Amino acid sequence: MSKLKAGFIGTGKKPDKPGVQGYGMAHRHAAAFRALKERVEIVAVADIKKENAEAFCELFEVPRSAIYIDYHDMLKREKLDLVSICTWPRLHAPMAIAAAEAKVRGIYCEKPMADSWGAARRMHEAAEANGVKLAFNHQRRYARPFRTARKLIDEGAVGTLERIEFACADLYDWGTHCFDLANYLNGERRAAWVLAQIDYREQNLVFGQPCENQGVAQWAWENGVAGLAFSGQGRAALPALMRAQGSEGMLEVGPMSPGEHPQPLRVRRFGEKAWNYVDCEGDGLHGSALIDRAIADFVACLLEGRACELESANALKASEVIFALYESSRRRGRVDLPLDIDDHPLAAMVESGALKPVPKAGV
């Protein structure tokens, strides 16, 4: 079997100390592809900073002759099967659309999906039109605590699912994982409506995109299950990262209170006095091992011709809720889906002067 030829758009600089905006995600993607060396070969890279591309190529044994400054040149000259996109969200759509139009077989893109609802839709539509598998790095789905939680819910461990709650730093960047996971726990359903309010008094940019300082969000899926989320300063309202409540009990996915218990998943049926902790075989909720699993599954799906749960159809469901929640804050009312806007409501409110956050201290 011939290997899939992979190209990278955006290598970035591998940070010494990864932070909110410096995880060196291209390096993590590449490590995952390298672990699949019998199936995948990295053959080309594109980055506007040649020194970053050179360091990347040296680390992952890619010929320097395969370095491009313009990703369009790489897509035109190289016969690629796979493209990895590891740039900031505002660049995802044009890059993914160009890769789809170049007829690559698969695109593995970083999250959040895009910088606006319109851009997210256009990425998905371009992939569909060109028969390309477009996937996003919602790798936390592959953590055993979440896989086990989904299995328990499906098996009726909490009765009929009624509500999913979670807490996150913001609805956009951190929230993209949480909304995706909530959709996953509820069988990949679409939301029917959303209602939210946010506070954005101090500038808070993540990958160049504004993220609220505090928020509360409510929504309902088409199957009637309710959703509730707290973000920013309000996230302390929920003691766990995520909670699923049913007609006969509830389960929670960590983190739990410090020193409470090492297992990040617990279940309690109504009437029981104590939580039952579920063995997740030492698995956590995030980390590079989950990226390895996610990319390995995407490559397997690509080679075997089957659907991948990371594909844009699922990512789009999470993105629609995120942008609809910001739209709800802009409209000051409930938003029924499908979402009928094109922009990013929070960014638009800041740009118009409707919201005037003060510059963040030290910036």
pLDDT in tens, 309-324: 999 999 999 999 999 9
Distance CA 39, CA 209 (A): 36
For position 81, what pLDDT does the model report?
Answer: 98
Domain ranges of the chain: 4-139+288-310, 141-285+311-363
Confidence of residue 16 (pLDDT cuts 50, 70, 90): low
Q: Which CATH class for the 4-139+288-310 domain?
A: alpha beta
Mean pLDDT calculated for residue range 17-26? 68
pLDDT in tens, 223-235: 999 999 999 998 8
For position 284, what pLDDT does the model report?
Answer: 86
For position 261, what pLDDT does the model report?
Answer: 64
Tell which wins on pLDDT, 357 or 261. Answer: 357
Cβ–Cβ under 8 Å, residues 118 and 149? no
Q: How many CB atoms lie within 10 A of CB 271?
A: 7
pLDDT in tens, 147-178: 999 999 999 999 999 999 999 999 999 999 99
Mean pLDDT calculated for residue range 249-263? 75
For position 14, what pLDDT does the model report?
Answer: 77
pLDDT in tens, 87-125: 999 999 999 999 999 999 999 999 999 999 999 999 999
Mean pLDDT calculated for residue range 7-19? 81
Mean pLDDT calculated for residue range 48-77? 96
Confidence of residue 206 (pLDDT cuts 50, 70, 90): very high
Cβ–Cβ under 8 Å, residues 74 and 49? no
Mean pLDDT calculated for residue range 267-276? 95
Q: Is the pLDDT of residue 20 over 70?
A: no
Q: Is the pLDDT of residue 217 over 90?
A: yes
Q: Which CATH class for the 141-285+311-363 domain?
A: alpha beta
pLDDT in tens, 273-302: 999 999 998 898 888 899 999 999 999 999
Q: Is the pLDDT of residue 13 over 70?
A: yes
For position 316, what pLDDT does the model report?
Answer: 98
Q: How many CB atoms lie within 10 A of CB 8?
A: 32
Cβ–Cβ under 8 Å, residues 255 and 264? yes
